Structure 1
């Protein structure tokens, strides 16, 4: 096996697959990348058994073969080489020699036949979608996913795919984020799957600033996404996702609707957050006629932060407590100048959404401060 490639092209491919390499693997070979040359195309593959990333590039001169090399070392070598350098890759018995100019590196290898790959998706639902729109969908909701929750189905994102739209939902049990895009998927009937947290992060990273269409295939136990010369595959989380529709307050039944300037609201929260460094990050919000007042709980040093802002509200005065971080996370994903806040009482969940826009909704449970 032998090929020559320019450093920048190689670096781009290695960067694409590095997210799938397991730093603390169950099997030593999972620390390696699979390098394959066949039919004039060079393939790089990384996997951690749960997800797999494969990328390819066509080369004019290439010797057929396959091998696995230490991923981290190979990537570091490529990064250390000067831009536009020419890289020679040569498999010699059980060693790989990577050379460029006066630099020469000899790497150990492992048998490529032992490299595990994610099973090919069989009967799958397939469609295409705008890369920009799909990444935006994930970005607006991914922050609400749980992390290492015993309720394993919360450690991922629900993708609810219908014939005319795709909806993403994430929750950690304390807050919920929902967003949807209107797009023709062509599916015959609605299909819901749970994509693991790591998989969502890798999809967003791989799409990056790419435009155009991406291809998505959803099977019974895996999802595959084709992004230009990249194929991403991830196993799905088995389990029943919570009925998120029951969690989201019905805006029409909430007797308190408050319209606020998003930037002013966010700045007030950021200021009072300076003195809410405890784990709960609690803040009281006191809604009054035309005024919203903020106040943190007194710290052990007897320190308190207070602030206020004008709001569009003329209902009865009431007070409710929240985790500041949960509110700020939601506001960070809303781009509108104004947001609508829907409330019923101090013990009911709060609904936050862009002004007069229901495609993105954020739910935060109140705190008992």
Structure 2
């Protein structure tokens, strides 16, 4: 195997595939990057068995030669070392040659590295996914959907299925739900040509966070192919495979209240900033709890009290208060993350309550496609 390639293009590819590689893997070959050289270009693969990322660098692009392929072949090279070497090579011209079994030579300018590779035939095969259940979504919309839901997944492994985001297909709508049992984030998106064979899957939150980093580099539509065990995201020259979480995701639709005793409409940015200030005191206290109280004359009071630190109180104006008076306490962190997710910066938001110890919801005033639900905290 022998080829010449531009260092910057090789680095771009390595940056993508190394996102899937974990030093904690129990399969030694998965600490490496698989390099397949064909007549058409170079295919790089990285995997930790849960996530697999594959990127293709074409030999030619827009009439420009990017890779000079002298001899095809395959090799697995230790990912961390190979990445560091390529990053520090002195010129943009790189030659990689494999001879005598797995002896790999990396040359650039007057620098030459010798690495011992591994047999590519020992690298696990990519999962096979039938592309019947395929649909498209714009990259910026997919990024938004991930940003608005993935933060609410559980971080504890006590219920593994809650560490993922539940994607549900109903009619012509994709419904994405995440919950850690203390809060819930839901996003609905209308899309065309949604699959009919798969109606509910759970994608690990970790996978979606890694996918989001790759989506930063594309503006083209993303193709999504779903099966019962795997999901594949196709973008430009990158394939992103993720295993799905097993187990039944709880039916969260019944958690979302439909009748409310108190409705408050206010500026999202004002509320976020007030809670941020109150959390300065709350953060030092173990519970990070902020108190929220309706007042007369269309105002609410945000306060926090820590016996060791002190207390803070602030009144903010609201656009309207309908219904019962209310005093409720909640996590400042959860509330701020929910407001950021519904893009409550400079937007009018509505907060709807069903009582002091019942879950409440937040959404934009004229848009219920993004909904956030938070459970209050008992403070006595």
Q: Which residue of 1 aligns with 2:63?
A: none
Compared CA separation, residues 92 and 279, structure 1 to 2 (3 A): farther
Kindly provide the CA deviation profile for residues 127-148 of structure 1, in whole angstroms up to 9, marking residues without a partner as x. 1121111111111111101113
Q: Secondary structure at the match of 2:44?
A: strand
Q: CA RMSD in A?
A: 1.6
2:307 to 299, 304, 309: 299
Q: Is the 8 A contact 2:165 2:176 kept in 1?
A: yes
Q: Is the 8 A contact 1:165 1:185 kept in 2?
A: no
CA distance, structure 1, for counterparts of residue 88 and residue 138 of structure 2: 35
Q: Does 1:356 align with 2:356?
A: no
Q: Which residue of 2 aligns with 1:271?
A: 277
CA distance, structure 1, for counterparts of residue 358 and residue 38 of structure 2: 60
CA distance, structure 2, for counterparts of residue 356 and residue 363 of structure 1: 17
CA distance, structure 2, for counterparts of residue 333 and residue 214 of structure 1: 22
Residue 160 of structure 1 deviates from its aligned partner by 1.3
- Count the aligned residue pairs: 365
CA distance, structure 2, for counterparts of residue 294 and residue 273 of structure 1: 10
CA distance, structure 1, for counterparts of residue 275 and residue 35 of structure 2: 50
Residue 163 of structure 1 deviates from its aligned partner by 4.3
CA distance, structure 1, for counterparts of residue 80 and residue 156 of structure 2: 26
Equivalent runs, 1:196-215 vs 2, <5 Å = 196-215=204-223
Residue 342 of structure 1 deviates from its aligned partner by 0.3
Residue 249 of structure 1 deviates from its aligned partner by 1.5
Q: Secondary structure at the match of 1:257?
A: strand
CA distance, structure 1, for counterparts of residue 194 and residue 333 of structure 2: 38
Q: Is the 8 A contact 2:76 2:117 kept in 1?
A: yes
Q: Secondary structure at the match of 1:297?
A: strand
Kindly provide the CA deviation profile for residues 58-85 of structure 1, in whole angstroms up to 9, marking residues without a partner as x. 2253211111001011111222235x61
| Gaps in structure 2 of 5+ consecutive residues | 60-66
Q: Which residue of 2 aligns with 1:86?
A: 93
CA distance, structure 1, for counterparts of residue 2 and residue 198 of structure 2: 47
CA distance, structure 2, for counterparts of residue 85 and residue 123 of structure 1: 38
Q: Does 1:346 align with 2:356?
A: yes
CA distance, structure 2, for counterparts of residue 241 and residue 187 of structure 1: 19
Q: Does 1:146 align with 2:154?
A: yes
Equivalent runs, 1:306-317 vs 2, <5 Å = 306-311=313-318, 312-313=320-321, 315-317=323-325
Q: Is the 8 A contact 1:284 1:319 kept in 2?
A: yes
Equivalent runs, 1:325-340 vs 2, <5 Å = 325-336=333-344, 337-340=347-350
Q: Is the 8 A contact 1:13 1:56 kept in 2?
A: yes
1:191 to 199, 210, 213: 199
TM-score by length of 2: 0.92
Deviating more after overlay: 183-192 vs 158-167:
183-192
Q: Does 1:71 align with 2:79?
A: yes
Q: Is the 8 A contact 1:154 1:172 kept in 2?
A: yes
Equivalent runs, 1:150-189 vs 2, <5 Å = 150-188=158-196
CA distance, structure 1, for counterparts of residue 19 and residue 152 of structure 2: 21
Q: Does 1:5 align with 2:5?
A: yes
Kindly provide the CA deviation profile for residues 219-276 of structure 1, in whole angstroms up to 9, marking residues without a partner as x. 11100111110011111101111111011121xx102110011111011001111111
Kindly provide the CA deviation profile for residues 25-73 of structure 1, in whole angstroms up to 9, marking residues without a partner as x. 1021111000011232210001111110001112253211111001011
Q: Does 1:56 align with 2:66?
A: no
TM-score by length of 1: 0.95
